[in-house]
Chains A and B, each alone.
Chain A
């Protein structure tokens, strides 16, 4: 079975802190994605990566960056966290059957 893990289920940070959200998949998938989920807005794509060291901006990349140094790991970075980045963050990887498989999510609160 595909497994996507995220480093934290819940995270509380202060405004201005640098925040790292880690995502690891164990199925050698090339494509990985970071979304944020907000009530009434659904899921919005922040960044995605189609290979090691390759990244593309999604719909809402402002305030975020990503890193993909190894195939199995895709990290989302908030350079200077702000309160409007309080959200649920979901990582996914793409299976060979064209299905995105999601991790459990990280609920981030920025105070």
Chain B
């Protein structure tokens, strides 16, 4: 079975400090991994993805994520947080072995950047 866990419902960080939003996954085969962001009253926006290759993936708005196969993790990071980064963040996984295009989403982590 495929699943994604975001262990923190809420993350608070001071503006200018580095931020990390955690994600762990469980799939039978090799994963496609994604991060999406949702601003208030909006749909989800794609941030970045890992499919293959370099374990460090760079995405939109200065975000990056590191794929760690041994720890089955795909944590989202940013070196210096902005107040405008405050939003709801979702990690998602697709099991490429099945050939399906479905994504399984985590429950979301609300990031608040404090001025």
Secondary structure of the A contact surface, majority rule: strand
Number of interface residues of A (CB under 8 A): 26
Which partner residue on chain A sits nearest B46 by CB separation? A99
- Is B34 engaged at the interface, CB distance under 8 Å to the other chain? yes
Number of interface residues of B (CB under 8 A): 22
**A101 in contact with B108 (CB, 8 Å):** no
| Cβ-neighbour of B107 out of A31, A40, A50 (below 8 A) | A40
**A104 in contact with B43 (CB, 8 Å):** yes
CB < 8 Å A-B pair total = 52
| Cβ-neighbour of A42 out of B41, B42, B90 (below 8 A) | B90
**B34 in contact with A99 (CB, 8 Å):** yes
With A41-B107, A42-B105, A58-B102 given, is the CB distance from A98 to B49 under 8 Å?
yes
**B32 in contact with A98 (CB, 8 Å):** yes
The residue in A9, A42, A50 that gathers the most chain B C-beta atoms within 10 A of its C-beta is A42
| Cβ-neighbour of B108 out of A4, A42, A92, A94 (below 8 A) | A42
**B43 in contact with A103 (CB, 8 Å):** yes
CB distance from A10 to the nearest CB of B (A): 9
**A42 in contact with B107 (CB, 8 Å):** yes
**B101 in contact with A101 (CB, 8 Å):** no
With A40-B107, A41-B107, A104-B43 given, is the CB distance from A98 to B90 under 8 Å?
no
A69→B54 CA distance, assembly (Å): 41
**A43 in contact with B43 (CB, 8 Å):** no
- Is B51 engaged at the interface, CB distance under 8 Å to the other chain? yes
**A48 in contact with B102 (CB, 8 Å):** yes
- Which chain B residues lie closer than 8 Å to A74 at the CB level? none
**A43 in contact with B101 (CB, 8 Å):** no
- Is A100 engaged at the interface, CB distance under 8 Å to the other chain? yes
Q: What string of 1s and 0s marks CB contacts (under 8 Å) between A4-35 and chain B?
A: 10000100000000000000000000010101
